[in-house]
Structure formats: structure tokens, C-alpha cells
Structure 1
Amino acid sequence: MSVLTAPSPPPDRTIAYGASPDQVYDVRRPVGAARRATVVVIHGGFWRPAYDRTHAGQQSKALATHSFHVATIEYRRVPGDWPAMAADVLAAISAVAADPELPDDIVLLGHSAGGHLATWAAYQPEIAVTGVVSLAGCVDLHLTRDLHLGDGAADALMGSAPEAVWRAADPAMLGRPPAQVRLIHGAADDRVPVEVSESYQAAADAAIPLQVLAGCGHYELIDPATPQFAHTVAAVEALL
């Protein structure tokens, strides 16, 4: 069974941070001796409404079994409305940070388009995080556009936004990150090729760790049933 179609284990609680049904986050409590950190999971799906946080449920539950507090955020995914999505991601992270039941130390963990959102969020002045792990992330938004990934997903996201808005939304245009960033990418990824992570690394800071996994495709990094998922857990642990 694909991680995209596997049933999502129910969360321990779901919290609204806004009025829209998409303005919520799921909390999963740690199993065993809790670590003093909250992992904020930001799902991918090329920023499109067809993909929601359901497919991140297995990943989130597995992280909880590794003793992390986990908050899996949802956000509005309206084609062409980048400002709403950006505002939701920042509002969701801020709500998690203010949640009295969750530790203050936050690691952002994003896959694919979620890797873009997690990395971008770390640059925003209202967000304070311990670090970011990008899994096969679309962390160079311009290159994602130029390679026409996801059948033009970046163009669909940004709509008619001017170049200045594109640049502000692109982690590869924002310089050295203010928090630790770790990049993991599968060498065999045919959805978001590894050159996207390499391009961000070259633009932002050559010292950013980039782990390229031989034989790994796009989804193994979020699938607890694969051996590659251990690298995801290790990358989060390395930030703490």
C-alpha cells in the first residue's frame, strides 16, 4: 500500500487556528520518554488542493513513536493565492508555538512542496525555530518553475504574481538561512530531482548539509515502512 493511500492514524487532538476547515493542526503525543521538541510536519502535494495532510498521518504517527511531539499542519491550498497559503503556514506555526501542551523548541519538517514551505517559513522574522529538515523539497521555486515540475505547479501556485513576489517566496533567493537547515533528497527522485536541493544549497550556503540517498525516490522519506525513513528521523535528531 502506498503512503499516499494508507489510512491516516487518528491524532490525539485537532486544533483550529482559523475559521476555515483547512486552518487546523493535528497533535500526536510522544510515545515513551518525550523529547523536549515539537516537530511541525508540513505536507506536500505541489501546493494543490487535491493533497491534504491525510497522507502525512503515517509519517506523523511514526515520529511520535520516536518520542517527538508532532503537530501536522493544514493550510489553504487555493491555486494562485500564495498570500493566503503563506499566511496560513505562518499562523499555524505560530499557533503551535503558543500551544501550552507542546514544547517550545520547534523543528519544521517538510516534504516536497512542504519542504519549500518549511524552509521559506524559517526566513520569516515572526518565526523562531530550532531548524528545518527539507525532504525532497521544492526549495528553489524558480527552478521548480523552469523544470515544469508537477505540470507547472509553481506557476499554478503563484498565478500572476510579479517577480518581486516570486523572489520573496523563493528560499533560494533569500540568502543564508537564519536557522539550521538540513536537506535530504533521493538520487532516484523523478518528481522533484535532486538538482533542486543542490541549487538551493549553492545559492543559500554551501555548508548546508545535503544528504543524497542512492536508489531513493520521492516518497520513501515520508514512508515509515521504508528503510530510508530512518534518515528522516536522524535528520530531525541532529538538529536537537
Structure 2
Amino acid sequence: MTGRPGRRAVVTAALGVPLLAAGCSASTTGGDDAPQGPAPERIAYGPHEAQFAELTRPTGASRGVVVVLHGGFWLAEYDVSLARPLAADLVRRGWTALAVEYRRVGDGGGVPATLDDVSTALDLLADRDLADGPVVTLGHSAGGQLAVWAAARTRLERWRGAQVVPTHVVSQAGVLDLRTAADEDLGGGAVPGFLGGTPQERPEAYAWADPVALAPVEAPVWCVHGPDDGTVPIAQSQAYVRAALAAGGAATLIEVPGDHLDQVDTGSDAWARTVAVLDGL
């Protein structure tokens, strides 16, 4: 993605790489002269300023719902603006999109608060006659962890009453093996920060949140990941797929070109591969 002027707006990132600031580049938004799609409906699901979601419906019949969960190592400085270009592109392709904001570390989040928010936001679909077709959770990086977790949450006592369970899951360069991620210090301590400590200090939090520990889920899972990803290594997705298949689940690894941020560039080959997964549902 380098060498394409105007393709990204860059902010300083704790991830150790520049992060895409959504809504600022012609390639992801279509530019200022591009036709504007349907306006999103902002829905608050709690009293905190970060407890809201943006629901956008296509102009014609909907193919189903994609719940877009942004990444940023669960940190407060990264917000739903990262999800908006993906949601807008999905709406143009005929999907209803729910872009979810949630409490993050540094702003009231972490385990279990962030997980509570994702579960509650997903259940918004139950009250809007939108959960009859496919319900896909799609998440990038830390959002990949949340996307897979959402499909497993009804097995956990705290979230047993959740109403809407994903029918399909797509993880884009997801952080899916939290114990290994903590041991390898991915995100500079982001994983213990999210979970409130190391696996030894907070074993119950890892049991709640770690996709590898919760594998398999009932929904099929696609792990879209690049071998050249220097932020979240592809070994994270490989570990999840191995665990899910060994436990009798349905999981597929799709290797894509590019770096970590190509996954959230709607002009990239990596995004095209994700779209192809959705087209096949």
C-alpha cells in the first residue's frame, strides 16, 4: 500500500505501525465527489459515550447483516472511524452494516466491560427485524478476537442470555491466541492490559475471552491473514484454525497479500478476498 499518494491518513500508533484513519482517503471512501450512500442510524445501547453502534441499511433488499468490529488493540485511542469505510463498502454491496463502538482500555473498557458491550450491541439486531438472514461478525485485529468471541459467548454464564448469535465469522488478521499474544508482548502489553493481567494473574479472563480456548464455535470461521503481517503474525490465525479443526469445528485460513492495514483498505486485494468470502455465503 505504499507509493499510493492520498491513500491513507496516518496517526501515531501504539501498534508500532501507522493506522488508517477512516474517512480520509479517496480509495476507501470514494472521494468527495462520490455518491453518498444511505445515512447510518446511531443507536445508543448504554450510558457511556462509547456505547453506541451505527446501523446502515442498503437502498434495496438486504443480503444480511455484517457486524463490523474495529481493531486497535482494544485501546481508547482507536475508534469506530476505522470501521466506517468497511461498513460503507458493504452497504454499497447490498449488506446491512452495524459498525460497533465499545468501551476500550483507557476509557472504561477491558474484560469484561468490552465483551459486555459487544454482546449488547449485537443484540440490537433482535429488535430491528434484521436477524432473520445471515448475521456475520467481521473484525480486524483486536476486532477479530471480538468477532470470534461473539460467536462463542452464549456458552459462558455471564452472556448465556445473549439473543443474537452470528451465523458466520470473518477475522481479519485477528488476535486469536491471547495467551501466546501475551507471552510475545503483541501490541506492547496490550493483551494483559485488555485482560487485566497475565494468564497466570487472570486465568478466568483468558478463559472468557481467548478464541483458541473457546474453539470451536458453531458458526464457520474464516481467518483472513497475510504472511507478511508484522503487527499480528499469521501464527495467530494458524493457531486458531488448528484448534478449531482439532475440536471438530469449521475454520478456514485464507492467506492474502499485503500488510496489517491492507485488510481495512477497501481498495486492496486483501479486502477483495474478504468480500469474496461474504459473496459465497
> After TM superposition, is the score higher than 0.5?
yes
Matched, 1:212 2:255: yes
Matched, 1:23 2:65: no
Q: How does 1:134-213 map to 2 (within 5 A)?
A: 134-160=171-197, 162-205=202-245, 208-213=251-256
Q: How does 1:23-62 map to 2 (within 5 A)?
A: 23-31=51-59, 33-62=60-89
8 Å contact from structure 2 (residues 105, 193) kept in 1: no
Q: 1:128 aligns with which of 162, 165, 172?
A: 165
Amino acid paired to 2:52: V
- In the TM superposition, what whole-angstrom CA distance separates every residue of 1:105-142 from its partner, at most 9, and x where no partner exists? 31100100000001011001124221100000001111
Q: Secondary structure at the match of 2:181?
A: helix
- In the TM superposition, what whole-angstrom CA distance separates every residue of 1:4-44 from its partner, at most 9, and x where no partner exists? 2242679421111111111111122225x433311000000
| Structure 2 CA distance for partners of 1:6 and 1:90, relative to 1, 3 Å | closer
Cα distance between partner residues in 1 of 2:48 and 2:96: 24
**CA deviation after TM superposition for structure 1 residue 220, in Å:** 1.1
Partner of 2:4 in structure 1? none
Q: 2:146 aligns with which of 117, 123, 136?
A: 117
- In the TM superposition, what whole-angstrom CA distance separates every residue of 1:93-113 from its partner, at most 9, and x where no partner exists? 01123224x343311001000
Q: Secondary structure at the match of 1:82?
A: coil
Amino acid paired to 1:151: G
Number of matched pairs = 236
Partner of 1:66 in structure 2? 93
- Quote the RMSD (CA, aligned, Å): 1.9
8 Å contact from structure 1 (residues 36, 103) kept in 2: no
Cα distance between partner residues in 1 of 2:181 and 2:23: 30
Cα distance between partner residues in 2 of 1:78 and 1:132: 24
| Structure 2 CA distance for partners of 1:183 and 1:135, relative to 1, 3 Å | same
| Structure 2 CA distance for partners of 1:177 and 1:65, relative to 1, 3 Å | same
Cα distance between partner residues in 2 of 1:34 and 1:231: 23
Percent of aligned pairs with the same amino acid: 38
**CA deviation after TM superposition for structure 1 residue 78, in Å:** 2.7
Q: 1:14 aligns with which of 14, 18, 42?
A: 42
8 Å contact from structure 2 (residues 74, 110) kept in 1: no
Q: Secondary structure at the match of 2:83?
A: helix
